[in-house]
Structure formats: C-alpha cells, structure tokens
Chain A
Amino acid sequence: MTQTAIHIDNLTKQYDNGRGCRNVQITVGQGEAFGFLGPNGAGKSTLVKMLVGLITPTSGTASLFGDAIGTVAAKRHIGYLPELYRYQEWLTGSEVVRLHARLCGLDKQTTERRIPELLDRVGIGNRGKDRVKQYSKGMQQRLGLACALVADPPILFLDEPSSALDPVGRLDVRTLLRELKQEGKTIFLNSHLLEEVENICDRIALLNNGEILRHGTVQQVLHAQTRWLFKIGGYTPEILPWLIETSGVQLHRAESLPDGERNGGSMGDEIWLEAVIDNEQQVGLITTLIVNQGMTLYYVYPVRERLEEWFMEAVSGLSHRGEQE
C-alpha cells in the first residue's frame, strides 16, 4: 500500500481581505505527481506556503509523512521552489546550493559531490561559478530547482517551476520532473502551464476562489470529455434523426471545428457532426451507417480534450480572485 506523503485536512487560511483558501482536503500518495490548478489569485500559492511552513493556517491541519506542517521534522521531507524565486545575489550559484545543503545538514563530502551534479542536471553547469546577480531569471529558476533538490527530499513543492524558462528550458524541466517521478519523488506542482501538468501529473485539483472546485485523475477529468468528429459529404437534413435513432448516440452538428472549416446546412453540403462517445465500437457503427446511406465520410477522428480546454470550461463564468460581481 502506498504511504501517504501529503495529507491535508480542512486546511484554511483566511486573510482580512477575504482572500486565501478554505477547507482544502487533499491526500497525495508517495511517488504521486499532483497538479494544482487554478486562475491567478485562486489561493494556490497560499496553500503551498502553508504546507512548506511559510505561513500559519487559520484552521485545519496537514502533515507530510505524518509530521505536522511547519515543524523542522516536516521540513526535512521537502524541497521547495517558490513562485517568487530570488537567491543571494552576492553569492555564486555553487555557493547558494552549498548554503542550502548546509542548512539541510548535509555533510561536506556529500555537499561537494552533489553541487556539480545538480548544477549539471538543471542546466547551469559551469555558470555555477558566476555570481547570481549575473543570472537571468531563467537561470535563477534553474538554480532554485537545484536548491530544492539538494537534500534529495522525498517531496517536492514546485510553484510554477518553468514560468521564466524558454521552450527549451521548459522541455528540460519537464524531462527532469519525469525523471524525478520515476525516482519515486512525490511532486506537488502548481502550474499555469497545463500541458506540463497534463504530461506529468497523475491527479489534479482545480482551485477557484480558495475552494477546490474539482479533483480527480487526469484521465478521469478528461475522459468524460472525449468527443468524436465526423466530416460527411452529401448530407441531407433528415439523416441526423435517423442516425441518432439507429445508433443510439446523441449526434449533433459540431460547434467547434478545426481551423479553416465551416459547417454547411443545406441539402448536399459537407457537414461536421460530433458526439461524445466512450465506446469505439459505436464509432464503427456510425461510420457504417453513414456509408450505407450513400454519403461520403471524409474524416473521423477523436478530439482528445486538452487540460487547457477542461480548465477553461471549468472556470468559465465563475468570478475569480474573489471579486464581487
């Protein structure tokens, strides 16, 4: 049975302006990658800051491998890359990592072995000899990852870990996170880069106005949204009710089409139909019925819903950041 790495029970942080997060309940197993999503100001960073001991909860409890958050014991389990990452600019990159290693209680031998390894791993390499004030934002973010990893912690809290990186840097970070996951690290990922979350995380939660709106595995939240598109030639309006009745699938004219496509409507037009279908056998039945009716079937393909679309749909129409409507 997987050990619980992060257990959050009704954790609440209430600020005077009404912001913060309320009654958050999440359990993350050891080795799991958990994605935490939400619009700006939803309270994601507030939750992470409580978990790493930077702010005190108003109510509720949480633990990391059974140790109450904020304690020295709990902090031994974590590596943290803050959203607002800056490091002592009067130190070199190597010295910053060394400082973090010493604060974690690593012995000198281990520290000196880990520093070049980590700097290479995060893509800083020989620039570790340079002062931090000469680093770009992206370099500082890479340095932050090295600091988070220096004590080889079992849990990583990463708050927007690639926000300052270029596309190559983002790919590097994604690869690094996959490796860390394979190594058995528990990853708690706050990110606006939904593709990153979709690629790495096993489970996700969506926070809005300080409350968890939805949560589940990435497959669960996306599976329900799988839809299929059919491009048909020689369409006649009476064919749609017949197709629905015969196949038992709720087909309808597609509303969202691939770029450059438009939906016809008259006799003989090319038309796009869509349906949410779980079973691929139903897709086979529909294509057979269309062809048997003498129509032309140009394309059939599943539109795999991206997390981005799910996210947009989930938060659309909601007030964000606690504004009064």
Chain B
Amino acid sequence: MNTIIGMTWKELLRKKVMLMTLVMTVLFLVLFWFIASTLTRDVPLSPTGAVDLVAQYAKGSTLLTLGFFFGSFILAFLVIFSSFSSISGEAEIGIMQATLTRPIPRWKWYIGRWLGYVTFGMLYALLLYVSIIIVTDIHTFVPGNLMVHIQSFLVYAMAVPILITLSLLGSTAFSALGNGVFMTMFYGAGWLGGMVEKFTSVMSLEPDIHQRLNNITGIISFLMPVDALQRKMMAIMLGFDDLAGMVEVGSSLTAGMGLGQVVSGSFIVYAVLYTVILLLWGMRRFNHKEL
C-alpha cells in the first residue's frame, strides 16, 4: 500500500494542479496580508488608554473568518481537482488496466489512493491553517491556545477526507469530466446551503419561512457536511462556548460573525460516519468495477 501512497504523492507533486494551487495560495496569502494590515491599521484604545481587547478580538475574529472562508475554497479545489479523475480517468485512458492486473486486492489500491490524497491534502490544510493564523497573529489578536487550535484544525481538515471520499466514490460511477462537474456542483451546493444559513440567521423572516429554509439548509448540510464543519471549526477557534458562558450570545453572535447556526459536536461524529460509509461504498463499487 505504501507504493500506492507514494505514487499518489508523486502524482500530486508533479501535476500542474499542485503548482497552480501553490501559486494561488501564495497570491491568497499576499492578498490576505494586505487586507490584514489595512483592517488593523488603527488599533482602538479603551477609555483608559489601553488596547481595547474586545475590539482586538473582533478584528482578529473577522480576519480569521475571512481567511478561512477563502482558505476553505482553496483547500476544497485542491482536493477536488487532484482526485476527481483518479479512477474513471485512469480507466478511460488505460492506466488502470495494466496496474490492476498486479497481484494486489483492489481494495488495497483504493485505500492506498485514498490515503495518498488524504495525507497530502491534510498536510496542505495544515500549511494553509498555520499560514492564516500566522498572518493574523502578526497583525492582531488570535484567540485560543494550542489545544483549541489542534481541535479547530482537525475539524477544518475534515473537509479533506470527506471530499476525497466523495470524489473517489463519484469517480467509480461517473466519467472523469462528469465527476469533476458533480463534485464542483455538490461542493457548491453545500457552500450555497451555508450562505443561506448565514443570511437567514441575520434576516428577520416569517417563522414558517425561517423554518422551511432551516430544513433545506439542514438537509444540504447532511448531504455535504463540509460547510457546516467549517462553521463549527470557526466556533471552536473563536471560543463561542466560552463567550456564551460569559454573556448572552446565542446565534446572534455567530450570525454577527457570519457563521450562521453552528452545528453540535454530534455532527462531527455524523461526519466521520458519513466518511466511513461512503469510503466502504466506494470500495465496494471499485471492487466490482468493470475495466
């Protein structure tokens, strides 16, 4: 299996999608740096003349929300575009016909590819996460301690195995192009659900309309949990649970931060189960795939 993981890493390092992602990441970080320096130019002082910690927190939170909003896009696109053709694409052009006649069970091939993409994507996610935190920390206050950041990183990086699992499953069913379209649309639907969620949190709507939109966005979150996890990650990082203990916040604070409703801890368990089930389903489909 190490051979397959190594081959996947080599593929990702040598393909242009990685180069493009790195270029885009650098551009994003440069842009983020300028946004951060612009937003934090005037450091507000409290009436006593000390640095206003609440204002610092608000600025740091805004910057992090902004950074991870775009950072999650970059991560998702790297993950989707590096893996969407891994099975159907290789089968279509004939690469798989030679390799799958080798004496290894198909499930090992599938898991090897999955692990290769996931480990690589997680490493990239870590790089991006740390970069956003460092840029924010240079300019303003970053809430949380190391444990909080480990937790929020793990929730943030869960997007990687989820999207890889979906992408590989889709690749057992659709053509390379079809799967690329499917994954982009599906991820887009999840993002749209998240946006609707954020808007409904701050807009005053009739209760039944609100309920109906909540139901729709809830279903979308269950089908594509990445955006909901992104909001959960921000809530962990910004310490909403601690704030809720000190002041009356509820959904109004998270809505104010552009996060909408934050899912509970059980949703993380659901996301893990979702990934495992889809992974097993993909493996089963791949085992029976006619090449």
Q: When chains A and B are docked, how far (Å) is the Cα of A75 from the Cα of B108? A: 15
Say whether, besides A90-B11, A90-B14, A52 and B94 are in contact (CB < 8 Å): no
Neighbouring A residues of B105 by C-beta, 8 Å: 72
CB within 8 Å of A: which of B235-255?
Answer: none
B2 and chain A: residue at smallest CB distance: A102
Neighbouring A residues of B14 by C-beta, 8 Å: 90
A75 contacts B103, CB within 8 Å? Answer: yes
Q: When chains A and B are docked, how far (Å) is the Cα of A56 from the Cα of B288? A: 8
B100 and chain A: residue at smallest CB distance: A54
A49 and chain B: residue at smallest CB distance: B291
B15-51 CB mask vs A (1 if < 8 Å, else 0) is 1000000000000000000000000000000000000
Neighbouring B residues of A80 by C-beta, 8 Å: 97-98, 101
Interface range for B: 20 to 34
The contact of B103 among A55, A72, A91, A148, by CB within 8 Å, is A72
B249-264 CB mask vs A (1 if < 8 Å, else 0) is 0000000000000000
Q: When chains A and B are docked, how far (Å) is the Cα of A192 from the Cα of B288? A: 30
A100 contacts B290, CB within 8 Å? Answer: no
A104 and chain B: residue at smallest CB distance: B102
A144 contacts B98, CB within 8 Å? Answer: yes
Chain A residues bordering chain B, tally (CB within 8 A): 31
B98 contacts A100, CB within 8 Å? Answer: yes
CB within 8 Å of B: which of A237-288?
Answer: none
Q: When chains A and B are docked, how far (Å) is the Cα of A103 from the Cα of B97? A: 14
Chain B CB within 8 A of A105 CB: yes
**Stretch of A81-89, A195-203, A300-308 lying at the B interface:** A81-89
Neighbouring B residues of A56 by C-beta, 8 Å: 288, 290
CB A206 to nearest CB in B, in angstroms, measures: 24
Interface residues of A (CB under 8 A from B): 49, 52-56, 72-73, 75-76, 78, 80-82, 84-88, 90-91, 95, 99-100, 102-105, 144, 147-148
Knowing that A75-B103, A85-B97 touch, tell me 5 more A-B residue pairs with CB under 8 angstroms: A52-B101, A54-B97, A80-B101, A103-B4, A103-B102
Interface residues of B (CB under 8 A from A): 3-4, 7, 10-11, 14-15, 93-95, 97-105, 288, 290-291
Q: List 20 A-B contacts (CB under 8 A).
A: A49-B97, A53-B100, A54-B100, A54-B290, A56-B288, A56-B290, A75-B103, A80-B98, A81-B98, A86-B95, A90-B11, A90-B14, A90-B15, A95-B10, A99-B3, A99-B7, A100-B99, A103-B4, A105-B103, A144-B98
